[in-house]
Amino acid sequence: MGEEQRIKETFFISHGTPKLTIEESKPARHFFEGWRESVFSKNPKSILVISAHWETDQPAITAAHHSDIIYDFNGFPARMYQLKYASPGSPDLAKRVEELLTASGFPSVHMDKKRGLDHGAWVPLMFMYPEADIPVCQLSIQSHLDGKYHYNMGRALAPLKEEGVLIIGSGSATHPSNDTPHCYDGVAPWAAEFDH
């Protein structure tokens, strides 16, 4: 396989608020728009996104031929629910992920042929790769399991980089939930505590 198809990096991004799709002033939007110029100039063969917004008991991966999107947020302006990101899916990548995880002793992977991409995947990708011409699969996380489990999952998936797959973890090290106390000025105390 040629050097141009091998990828050395795996990226972990904070996907930001879904509102960055309609608000041009959001810094995360500018970061994603400049992705290919300032961060990663290669065009991957396909993209695997592991998003904080898809939690399952056992590993699951999208395996459709075409990636629909999910509007997995509410209370936002109506025009946000009209946005599209019509990237192709990749059943072949889904099968390869299943093979790698199974060979590493993970429980059987559910091949989900109906689920679309959640906003942790399609929102950043619509600015990183606006042409929507790179096949995308999304892998779920098992939030009830520990960091060692997910670290080992990452190790099992590492060979994908040699095959031209860009692996992106999307969320945030301290992704808030609906129960998280809001902080409007500076860094939230719970986020600072996590960082320390």
Per-residue model confidence as pLDDT tens digits over 145-195 = 988 999 999 999 999 999 999 999 998 766 666 666 777 777 778 778 877
- CA-angle at 62, arms to 108 and 109, nearest 5°: 5
Q: Compute the distance between CA of residue 140 and CA of residue 59 in angstroms, rounded to an integer.
A: 6
pLDDT of residue 147: 86
Distances (CA, A) of 69 to 55, 81, 89, 193: 16, 10, 11, 34
Q: pLDDT digits over 10-53, tens only?
A: 999 988 789 999 999 988 999 999 999 999 998 899 999 999 89
The mean predicted confidence, pLDDT, of the chain is: 90
- Per-residue pLDDT, 174: 63
DSSP string covering the chain, please?
--GGG----EEEEE---GGGGT-TT-HHHHHHHTHHHHT-----SEEEEEEEEEE-SS-EEE--SB--B-----SS-GGGGG-----B--HHHHHHHHHHHHHTTPPPPEEESS--B-HHHHHHHHHHSTT--S-EEEEEE-TTS-HHHHHHHHHHHTHHHHTTEEEEEEE-TT---TTSPP--SSS-HHHHHHH-
Q: Please tell us whether the domain made up of 7-173 is placed in CATH 3.40.830.10.
A: yes
Sign of CA dihedral 184, 186, 190, 191: positive
Per-residue burial over 157-195, b if 16 or more Cβ lie within 10 Å, else e, is: beebbeebbbbbbbbbeeeeeeeeeeeeeeebeebeeee
pLDDT tens digits along 61-103: 999 999 899 999 999 999 999 999 999 999 999 999 999 999 9
